[in-house]
């Protein structure tokens, strides 16, 4: 294991970055008017990947990227044109290399077949047969035998201009064995003519060494063009080795004017673990600060003026710190948006459609966690748009539309959340078809009458797919309901608006961060629970007569014409000492997805921003509870999982008296 193995991870990370660059550049390459700078950049990326692979013994990467480099080199020199076919091959190559790098990352060797076919194609394109890289001249090492050499070292006057130093060369030579060095100063001109930077001295060296001739020649390796060298071995008549004559290239290389702004923002790389730790610590700080604040509420103003003011300031600073730290975890959505052009290109090509993707707001920032979880749902929706949304060019022409379809993908901050929109100018959702299918599958009643919005929302139902042929692109309709669930798991919402023939608009709204929650603290019996504010529609204080008993089901109350089931938290959670009587409880109207329900509680304590703590680290998951937090009094308070509550039956068995 070489000392350089510690850099393997850096290399792998760098490879992924370079591959992403390559892909992006290839996608943006205009085949007819290829930008040479871009071709150069693509070449350099492949070159760097290849260069590093050798250091870590990743031969499979070296071999594959070699042909890639050859092809790209030919392109940047203008010897080969970057046709669409070539670009496709190169894109596929990027995928192959990516797989290889992943294998390297996991420490496994990929199968021999990886990239084999593609490599042949690349070689064909370049017009090369499977030629190997000319191997390094591996001289067979002759036996080390003591011999004496006479070496005549006559540097050209301009040898120093290469930065080489005769003294160092002679020292190295002397280090090979026993030497006798004689300097010849006959070339030195008069003082007036002397050029202090030129080398006038020449040397004769007698060297007794067991090293090979090759070793001696190596000493002069760098200056072979700048000196006359004669090495002859005494005894065993050996041919004098003349210096290899390398033709010098007098090619004019015009400095390329690069317009690229060296806009490399100063940044540092930080371990995600460190950031998470920081976020946690700040979270704890927020809790402690809340505790302190709670304590000051009981203090007399006049007496403790200073303290109260101090804690108020502390609150302010803590909030600022919290925002700042949260922003550290924020990253631009660019990282997921950048995947999309490729997907659109590949899928539309597969389906014979012509589609353009426009992205907006790539620099909008979101918490890193959210970004990671957003990738899959977004990908699915884009694929869906390409597959089911946008029509074929023929269909579009017939409809009087531009044969090229457009998909807009945008992200923006709106009202403390991040809103992502996917809009296409395709066929829109065929409502009647969707409703018919839903009725057929029994998802809704046969005689149900739905509004336009409700019909559209049906596409999020499980088991629905109205595609004539279930393509293996976005698969069955089961996709959209999974997307919805994923988005909701992040605390977000997704809605759709569509117009037949014109297109569809999907709107995803997500919270900016995951770890902090705006909660409403409610009291049920002697327990406090927290309801996420985002789930709350309103709070009601219904009278006893507003409650209707429904046999075998929950009580319901009527709110503006809607009948909403009431869930007695006290019953569901089996809390002792809670209020059961209808009319004496408060009802908090909440919503999860499309389930509306009223939660019967005893009292509203207040609104508070809380830090979400995981229960699951140490306990088994509990239905109805999504997490916990620590309130100002240091006690643990549970955060409700509204989605679960809709399905929880109040316990019919005996109550458990809560231990004191």
Partner 1 sequence: MSDIFDQTRESKEEILGKGSARQFLTFTIGQEEYGVDIMTVREIKGWSETTRLPNTPDFMRGVINLRGLIIPIFDLRARFHLGLTEADAKNVVIILAVDNRTIGILVDTVSDILDTNEEQIKAAPASQTHAKDQCVDGLISNHDRMVVLLCVNKLFDTELLKKLENFSGDKTQA
Partner 2 sequence: MGKKILAVDDSRTMREMVAFTLKDAGYEVIEAEDGKNALTVLNGVKVDAIITDLNMPNMNGFDLIRALRGNATYKFTPILMLTTEGDGSKKEEGKAAGATGWIVKPFNPEKLVEVVKKVCPLGAAA
Binding site for partner 1 (CB under 8 A): 280, 284, 287, 527, 572-575, 613-615, 617-620, 622-625, 628, 630, 634-638, 644, 647-649, 651, 653, 656, 658-660
What does the alpha-carbon distance between residue 573 and residue 577 come to, in Å, rounded to a whole number? Answer: 12
Q: Where are the alpha helices (DSSP H) in 533-649?
A: 569-572, 642-645
Q: Which does 620 bind (CB under 5 to 8 A by kind): partner 2, partner 1, none?
A: partner 1
CB of 258 to partner 2, least distance (A): 5
Q: Indicate the burial class of 544 (C-beta count within 10 angstroms; 0-12, 13-18, 19 or more).
A: exposed
Candidates 255, 306, 415, 561: give the one binding partner 2 (CB under 8 A): 255
Q: Which stretch binds partner 2 (CB under 8 A): 47-55, 316-324, 426-434, 561-569?
A: 47-55
- Closer CB to partner 1, 510 or 612, in the complex: 612
- If you ran DSSP here, which 8-state letter would residue 58 be given? -
- Does residue number 163 form part of the binding site for partner 2 (CB under 8 A)? yes
- Closer CB to partner 2, 179 or 471, in the complex: 179
Residues 172-201 close enough to bind partner 2 by CB under 8 A:
172, 197
Q: Which does 50 bind (CB under 5 to 8 A by kind): partner 2, partner 1, none?
A: partner 2
- Does residue number 14 form part of the binding site for partner 2 (CB under 8 A)? yes
- Does residue number 258 form part of the binding site for partner 2 (CB under 8 A)? yes
Candidates 7, 203, 304, 408: give the one binding partner 2 (CB under 8 A): 7
What does the alpha-carbon distance between residue 496 and residue 14 come to, in Å, rounded to a whole number? Answer: 39
Nearest-5° angle of CA 424, CA 406, CA 361? 80
Q: Which stretch binds partner 2 (CB under 8 A): 258-266, 456-464, 618-626, 638-646?
A: 258-266
Task: Determine contact, residues 574/565, Cβ cutoff 8 Å.
Answer: no
- Does residue number 52 form part of the binding site for partner 2 (CB under 8 A)? yes
- Closer CB to partner 2, 170 or 374, in the complex: 170
Q: Which does 635 bind (CB under 5 to 8 A by kind): partner 2, partner 1, none?
A: partner 1
Residues 15-44 close enough to bind partner 2 by CB under 8 A:
40-41, 43-44
Closest by CA to 283, choosing from 333, 314, 325, 246, is 325
- Closer CB to partner 2, 73 or 184, in the complex: 73
Q: Which residues contact 155 (CB under 8 A, 6 or more apart)?
A: 166, 199, 201, 202, 223, 226, 227
What does the alpha-carbon distance between residue 30 and residue 82 come to, in Å, rounded to a whole number? Answer: 9
The sign of the CA dihedral 169, 173, 178, 181 is negative
> How large is the C-alpha radius of gyration of the chain?
37
Exposure b/e, 440-460, CB count within 10 A at least 16 = b: eeeebeeeeebeeeebbbbbb
Candidates 31, 36, 54, 228: give the one binding partner 2 (CB under 8 A): 54
What does the alpha-carbon distance between residue 481 and residue 460 come to, in Å, rounded to a whole number? Answer: 4
Q: Which does 298 bind (CB under 5 to 8 A by kind): partner 2, partner 1, none?
A: none
Candidates 221, 239, 252, 468: give the one binding partner 2 (CB under 8 A): 221
CB of 646 to partner 1, least distance (A): 9
CB of 580 to partner 1, least distance (A): 16
Q: Which does 372 bind (CB under 5 to 8 A by kind): partner 1, partner 2, none?
A: none
User: How many C-beta atoms lie closer than 10 Å to residue 626's C-beta?
Assistant: 21
CB of 187 to partner 2, least distance (A): 19
Q: Which does 168 bind (CB under 5 to 8 A by kind): partner 2, partner 1, none?
A: partner 2
CB of 310 to partner 1, least distance (A): 23
- Does residue number 155 form part of the binding site for partner 2 (CB under 8 A)? no
- Does residue number 303 form part of the binding site for partner 2 (CB under 8 A)? no
Coil, helix or strand at residue 310: helix
What are the backbone dihedrals phi and psi of residue 354, each rounded to the nearest 5 degrees, phi first?
-115, 110
- Does residue number 59 form part of the binding site for partner 2 (CB under 8 A)? no
String of DSSP letters for 431-462: HHHHHHHHHHTTSS-TT----HHHHHHGGGST
Task: Determine contact, residues 321/329, Cβ cutoff 8 Å.
Answer: no
Closest by CA to 624, choosing from 484, 524, 510, is 524
What does the alpha-carbon distance between residue 38 and residue 32 come to, in Å, rounded to a whole number? Answer: 13
Residues that bind partner 2 (CB under 8 A): 2-4, 6-7, 10-11, 14, 40-41, 43-44, 47-48, 50-55, 133-134, 136, 160-165, 168, 171-172, 197, 221-222, 225, 246-251, 253, 255-256, 258, 260, 262
């Amino acid at each position: 294991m070489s000392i350089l193995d510690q850099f393997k991870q850096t290399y792998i990370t760098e490879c992924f970055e370079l591959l992403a660059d390559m892909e992006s550049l290839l996608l943006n390459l205009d085949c007819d008017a290829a930008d040479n700078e871009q071709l150069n950049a693509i070449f350099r990326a492949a070159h760097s990947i290849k260069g590093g692979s050798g250091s870590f013994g990743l031969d499979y990467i070296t071999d594959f990227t070699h042909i890639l480099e050859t092809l790209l080199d030919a392109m940047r020199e203008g010897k080969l044109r970057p046709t669409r076919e070539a670009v496709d091959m190169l894109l596929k190559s990027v995928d192959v290399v990516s797989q290889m790098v992943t294998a390297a990352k996991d420490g496994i060797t990929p199968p021999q077949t990886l990239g084999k076919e593609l490599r042949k194609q690349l070689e064909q394109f370049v017009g090369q047969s499977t030629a190997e890289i000319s191997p390094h001249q591996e001289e067979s090492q002759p036996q080390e035998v003591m011999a004496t050499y006479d070496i005549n070292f006559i540097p050209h006057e301009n040898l120093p201009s290469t930065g080489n130093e005769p003294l160092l060369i002679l020292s190295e030579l002397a280090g090979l064995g026993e030497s006798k060095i004689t300097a010849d100063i006959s070339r030195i001109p008069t003082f007036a003519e002397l050029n202090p930077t030129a080398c006038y001295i020449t040397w004769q060296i007698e060297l007794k060494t067991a090293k090979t001739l090759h070793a001696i020649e190596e000493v002069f390796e760098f200056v072979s063009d700048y000196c006359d060298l004669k090495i002859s071995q005494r005894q065993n008549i050996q041919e004098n080795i003349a210096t290899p004559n390398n033709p010098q290239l007098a090619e004019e290389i015009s400095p390329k004017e690069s317009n690229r702004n060296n806009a490399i923002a100063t940044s540092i790389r930080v371990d995600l673990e460190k950031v998470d730790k920081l976020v946690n610590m700040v979270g704890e700080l927020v809790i402690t600060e809340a505790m302190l604040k709670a304590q000051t509420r009981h203090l007399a103003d006049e007496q403790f003026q200073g303290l109260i003011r101090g804690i108020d300031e502390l609150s302010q600073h803590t909030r600022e710190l919290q925002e700042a730290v949260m922003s550290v975890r924020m990253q631009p959505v660019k990282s997921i948006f950048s995947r999309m052009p490729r997907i659109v290109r590949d899928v539309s090509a597969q389906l014979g459609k012509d589609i353009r993707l426009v992205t907006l707001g790539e620099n909008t920032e979101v918490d890193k966690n959210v970004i990671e979880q957003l990738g899959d749902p977004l990908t699915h929706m884009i694929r869906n748009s390409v597959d089911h949304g946008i029509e074929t060019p023929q269909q579009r022409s017939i409809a009087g539309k531009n044969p090229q379809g457009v998909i807009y993908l945008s992200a923006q901050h709106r009202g403390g959340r991040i809103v992502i929109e996917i809009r296409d100018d395709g066929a829109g959702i065929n409502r009647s078809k969707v409703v018919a299918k839903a009725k057929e599958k029994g998802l809704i009643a046969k005689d149900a009458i739905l509004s336009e919005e409700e019909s559209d929302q049906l596409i999020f139902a499980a088991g629905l797919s109205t595609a004539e042929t279930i393509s293996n692109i976005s698969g069955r309709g089961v996709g959209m309901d999974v997307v919805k669930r994923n988005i909701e798991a992040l605390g977000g919402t997704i809605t759709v608006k569509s117009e037949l023939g014109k297109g569809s608009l999907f709107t995803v709204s997500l919270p900016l961060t995951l770890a902090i929650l705006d909660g409403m603290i409610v009291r049920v019996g002697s327990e406090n629970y927290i309801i996420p504010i985002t789930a709350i529609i309103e709070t009601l204080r219904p009278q006893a007569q507003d409650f209707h008993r429904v046999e075998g089901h929950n009580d319901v109350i009527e709110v503006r014409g809607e009948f909403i089931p009431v869930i007695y938290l006290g019953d569901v959670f089996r809390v002792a000492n809670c209020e059961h009587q209808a009319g004496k409880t408060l009802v908090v109207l909440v919503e999860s997805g499309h389930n509306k329900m009223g939660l019967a509680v005893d009292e509203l304590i207040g609104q508070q921003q809380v830090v979400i703590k995981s229960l699951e680290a140490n306990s088994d998951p509990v239905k109805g509870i999504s997490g916990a937090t620590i309130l100002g009094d240091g006690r643990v308070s549970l955060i409700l999982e509204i989605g679960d509550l809709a399905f929880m039956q109040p316990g019919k068995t005996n109550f458990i008296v809560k231990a004191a």
